[in-house]
Amino acid sequence: MARDIMKLYREKRCSAEEAMSAIRPGFWIDYGFFNGKPQLCDRALAARKADLSDVSILAAVTLPPVPEVLSCDPKGEVFTYNDFHFSPLSRILQSQTQNVFYNPILYSECERYYSDRINDPVNVGTPRRNASIVQTCPMDEHGYFNFGLHNSSTYTSLTHTDVVVVETNSNLPCCPGGRNERIHISQITHVVEGKNPPLLEIPFPEPTEVERKIAGYVMEHIRDGCCLQFGIGGVPNVVGGLLVESDLRDLGCHTEMLVDAYVDLFEAGKLTGARKSIDRGKMAFTFAVGGSRLYEFMDNNPSIASYNVEYINHPNIISRNDNVVSINSALQIDLYSQINAESMGFSQISGNGGMFDFVQGAYWSRGGRSLICLPSTYSKSDGTVKSRIVPYFDPGTIVTIPRQMVNIIVTEYGWASLKGDSTWARAEKLIGIAHPDFRDELVKNAEKQKIWRRSNRIA
């Protein structure tokens, strides 16, 4: 059997240039998400610009370096780049080129887009992918390529395309499943041995005083045995530090994004997963972005479980654990309690990601709750201070979470539980946790918008 595996490997091993020769005009291509973005193949594909036309690429959370298909084609004459979730780099690239676009999804659904397109091509708008290219760990002795930090929808993508290319990187940690965390040599068409580029690490700056205050209010909602989902941002890291110092115990982890804070909790003995109903004793996740300490911790670690996103993010799966606490951030909330977590006017900042999934799943969990955190203000480039709690959104602003789904909002001035409240009660509570400098103006707007009672009182 080992000889058969190595025979297959030798037959499919090729250069990036040879692999990219399989790409044809009009192809839709999946690039690996996060640290899974191919680099040798990306350069080889860009070098074929003169031979190609109308090639669309789908990625998510584009990390440095800048994709060569964009560097070589800033006017979008050949390549169109679509991103499921904008990163800071995606925003810069969209401002500098004419071929970068946001692709809205519900993260928990994205694997279905492949099968739906094949089974019902007339009624599904998502185009069929022709090729999938992703960085993976080198092949193991059994013929498998582990996806490392980016399980997500990778297996589904690779098994629903004709051209299947893995570009190996020995720096990727091998992350046990779970499910769908690897692919076999027999299922792929090309193996490109990569140059083993370093993995991108996300630095975590020293938390601000505002983030510390928000984290303090978040702590009021966590008790023994809670199952935690941390989103990206400073607040989850502060909460992780506070939990390490607390006397809480038997915390669990079911999260789309595994971050450094979970390592701190595990090593402090706080994160045992002993009270989880599913994946007991495991940190279940679908992708990871953080620092080298996190990546080293994950390598062949039996305490983690890498799952595909359809499992991790489905609200029905999330809710199977009791006492799920979902902690996410937002850009703005209006007085109707609609959440904007992805745009400022017409400018795309990030994306929905799995926020919708975990807001729903956490609330469906027995004893669970969803917390959406945001500082009460932000400063513009000219130094002007603006409120993040606004009367209504500017034109072009995207509603990420509808008001009916919003559970608990947290700012540095406190928290407000909104489920089941009327419009005037929501406005009153939100104004109560807004920055004091903006409360009078928010009250005036609430009156104009007829969502204010005369008897309402704001301290």
Task: Encode pLDDT of 35-60 as tens digits.
Answer: 999 999 999 999 999 999 999 999 99
Average pLDDT over residues 432-437: 98
Residue 455 inside a domain? The answer is no
Please tell me the predicted confidence (pLDDT) of residue 117: 67
Q: Which two tokens stand for residue 173?
A: 């940690």
Whether the per-residue pLDDT at 456 is higher than 90: the answer is no
Same domain, 179 and 226: no
Residue 204 inside a domain? The answer is no
Q: pTM of this prediction?
A: 0.95
Please tell me the predicted confidence (pLDDT) of residue 123: 58
Same domain, 63 and 142: yes
Distances (CA, A) of 249 to 50, 130, 269, 273, 345: 60, 48, 8, 9, 42
Same domain, 184 and 43: yes
Picking from 140, 158, 193, the residue at the C-terminal end of a domain is 193
Q: Which CATH number characterizes residue 132's domain?
A: 3.40.1080.10
Same domain, 237 and 385: yes
Picking from 131, 166, 193, the residue at the C-terminal end of a domain is 193
Same domain, 68 and 184: yes
Same domain, 264 and 364: yes
Round the average pLDDT of the chain to a whole number and report it. 94
pLDDT digit string, tens, across residues 93-119: 999 888 999 999 999 999 998 877 666
pLDDT digit string, tens, across residues 200-222: 998 877 889 999 999 999 999 99
Domain range spanning residue 219? 209-448
Please tell me the predicted confidence (pLDDT) of residue 119: 62
Cα-to-chain-centroid distance, residue 406: 19
Residue 200 inside a domain? The answer is no
Same domain, 250 and 118: no
Return the minimum-mean-pLDDT range out of 169-173, 371-375, 410-414, 451-455: 451-455
Same domain, 150 and 252: no
- Binned at pLDDT 50, 70 and 90, residue 453 comes out as confident
Residue 459 inside a domain? The answer is no
pLDDT digit string, tens, across residues 269-321: 999 999 999 999 999 999 999 999 999 999 999 999 999 999 999 999 999 99
Same domain, 274 and 166: no
Whether the per-residue pLDDT at 226 is higher than 80: the answer is yes
Please tell me the predicted confidence (pLDDT) of residue 205: 79
Residue 198 inside a domain? The answer is no
Same domain, 250 and 394: yes
Residue 69 inside a domain? The answer is yes
User: What's the total number of domains in the chain?
Assistant: 2
Residue 456 inside a domain? The answer is no
Distances (CA, A) of 311 to 85, 127, 434: 19, 23, 36
Q: If DSSP states are collapsed to H, E and C, what string results for the chain? A: CHHHHHHHHHHHEECHHHHHCCCCCCCEEEECCHHHCCCHHHHHHHCCHHHCCCEEEEECCCCCCCCHHHHCCCCCCCEEEEECCCCHHHHHHHHHCCCEEECCCCHHHCCHHHHHHHHCCCCCCCCCCCEEEEEECCCCCCCEEECCCECECHHHHHCCCCEEEEEECCCCCCCCECCCCEEEHHHCCEEEECCCCCCCCCCCCCCCHHHHHHHHHHHCCCCCCCEEEECCCHHHHHHHHHHHHCCCCCEEEECCEECHHHHHHHHCCCECCCCCCCCCCCEEECEECCCHHHHHHHCCCCCEEECEHHHHCCHHHHCCCCCEEEEEECCEEECCCCEECCEECCEECCCCCCHHHHHHHHHHCCCCEEEEECCCEEECCCCCEEECEECCCCCCCCCCECHHHCCEEEECCEEEECCCCCHHHHHHHHHHCCCHHHHHHHHHHHHHCCCCCCCCCCC
Residue 257 inside a domain? The answer is yes
Same domain, 222 and 250: yes
Q: Which CATH number characterizes residue 420's domain?
A: 3.40.1080.20
Whether the per-residue pLDDT at 1 is higher than 60: the answer is no
Q: Which two tokens stand for residue 366?
A: 């027995």
Please tell me the predicted confidence (pLDDT) of residue 353: 87
Q: Among 135, 264, 288, which residue's Cα sits nearest to residue 202?
A: 288
Picking from 193, 227, 257, the residue at the C-terminal end of a domain is 193
Among candidate residues 167, 256, 310, 412, the one labeled active-site is 256
pLDDT digit string, tens, across residues 139-197: 999 999 999 999 999 999 999 999 999 999 999 999 999 999 999 999 999 999 999 99
Look up 211 and say whether it is catalytic: no
Please tell me the predicted confidence (pLDDT) of residue 232: 79
pLDDT digit string, tens, across residues 322-363: 999 999 999 999 999 999 999 999 999 999 989 999 999 999
Same domain, 189 and 238: no
Q: Which residue has the higher pLDDT, 2 or 93?
A: 93
Q: Among 255, 249, 309, 258, which residue's Cα sits nearest to residue 109?
A: 309
